[in-house]
């Protein structure tokens, strides 16, 4: 299960999506997330599907590698679908059992919410799999630079996100090592009820938190020893500049979002 977490991991490939400016990918991810909660009917769903398929094909990232991150949130998706299925009122009742009622509106909401969650995870995975943490940091800092005039610590926010993304694979690998070590000592993380499983997680969580705080302290000491200050005055080894492909990507993004809005207006 731990190996199925793809957030924060980078998949190297020679594709158009990998070569795009990180600001374009950040904006595309934001617009795509907004579009998922804008459309309602099947037409919007089809347009979002075509958009996602085109982007995945252009990224050259294996589809099986991209969707394996869904395994870690299956329980969340199931709970969301069940709540929408049974708690959405409607006039057309499909199934009525005891105090549980399934309506046509509830069924539609459950299906569309499940699709939105799947597309949300896959869409954000495209950005993280095709963009290195350093590129994400530079792109986020450059995109939020106007907020620095309002005394917002843009560089610090971008640096925190970069460090968080960089440490996700490290913490996943360390969790796997600690879990195997505890299982060799007789720990059981799979059997028993929920309360027993929660208690069995203590030998895993305590050393993991200790190791995470130790890594954070070592990183802070290393940055301080190198006189890291951050913020204004720092230069970039690879400054960001828009290319023609970036403007084409923006145009493609505008056309897609305009199509979603038009479908929402005329087919609502």
The yes-or-no verdict on residue 189 having pLDDT over 60 is yes
Give 164-167 contacts, CB < 8 A, sequence gap 24+: 164/8, 165/7, 165/8, 165/128, 165/133, 165/136, 166/8, 166/133, 167/8, 167/212, 167/215
Please report whether residue 137 resides in a domain: no
Q: What whole-number percentage of the chain has pLDDT above 70?
A: 92
Task: Kindly give, in sequence order, each residue whose CB lies less than 8 Å from that of residue 155, ignoring residues fewer than 6 positions away.
Answer: 141, 148, 230, 231, 232, 234
Whether 6 and 98 share a structural domain: yes
Number of domains in the chain: 2
The yes-or-no verdict on residue 31 having pLDDT over 70 is yes
Give 255-263 contacts, CB < 8 A, sequence gap 24+: 256/31, 256/35, 256/47, 256/51, 257/31, 257/34, 257/35, 259/47, 260/35, 260/38, 260/39, 260/44, 260/47, 260/48, 261/38, 263/39, 263/41, 263/43, 263/44, 263/47
- The phi, psi pair for 61, rounded to 5°, reads -90, 130
Give the pLDDT score at 4. Answer: 53
pLDDT digits 0-9 by tens, 76-127: 778 888 888 787 777 777 777 777 778 878 888 888 888 888 888 888 888 8
Give the pLDDT score at 116. Answer: 86
Please report whether residue 140 resides in a domain: no
pLDDT digits 0-9 by tens, 147-172: 878 888 887 888 887 787 778 778 87
Whether 118 and 245 share a structural domain: yes
**CA–CA gap between residue 149 and residue 134 (Å, rounded):** 23
Whether 121 and 244 share a structural domain: yes
The yes-or-no verdict on residue 72 having pLDDT over 70 is no
Range of the domain at 72: 1-131+240-268
Highest mean pLDDT pick, 11-15, 97-101, 185-189: 11-15
pTM: 0.75
Whether 28 and 161 share a structural domain: no
């Amino acid at each position: 299960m731990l190996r199925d977490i793809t957030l924060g991991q980078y998949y190297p490939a020679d594709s158009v999506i990998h070569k795009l400016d990180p600001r374009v990918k950040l904006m595309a991810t934001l617009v795509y997330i907004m579009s998922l909660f804008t459309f309602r009917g099947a037409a919007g769903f089809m347009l979002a599907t075509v958009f996602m398929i085109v982007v995945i094909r252009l990224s050259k990232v294996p589809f099986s590698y991209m969707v394996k991150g869904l395994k870690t949130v299956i329980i969340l998706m199931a709970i969301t679908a069940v709540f929408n299925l049974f708690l959405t009122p409607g006039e057309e009742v499909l199934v009525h059992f005891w105090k549980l009622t399934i309506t046509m509106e509830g069924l539609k909401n459950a299906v569309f919410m499940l699709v939105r969650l799947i597309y949300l995870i896959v869409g954000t995975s495209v950005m993280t799999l095709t963009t290195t943490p350093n590129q994400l940091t530079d792109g986020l800092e450059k995109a939020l630079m106007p907020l620095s005039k309002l005394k917002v610590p843009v560089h610090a926010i971008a640096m925190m996100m970069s460090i968080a993304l960089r440490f996700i694979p490290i913490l996943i690998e360390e969790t796997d090592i600690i879990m195997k070590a505890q299982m060799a000592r007789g720990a059981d993380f799979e059997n028993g009820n929920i309360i027993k499983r929660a208690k069995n997680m203590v030998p895993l969580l305590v050393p993991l938190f200790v190791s995470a705080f130790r890594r954070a302290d070592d990183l802070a000491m290393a940055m301080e020893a190198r006189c890291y200050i951050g913020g204004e005055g720092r230069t970039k080894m690879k400054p960001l500049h828009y290319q023609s492909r970036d403007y084409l990507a923006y145009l493609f993004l505008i056309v897609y979002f305009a199509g979603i809005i038009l479908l929402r207006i005329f087919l609502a």
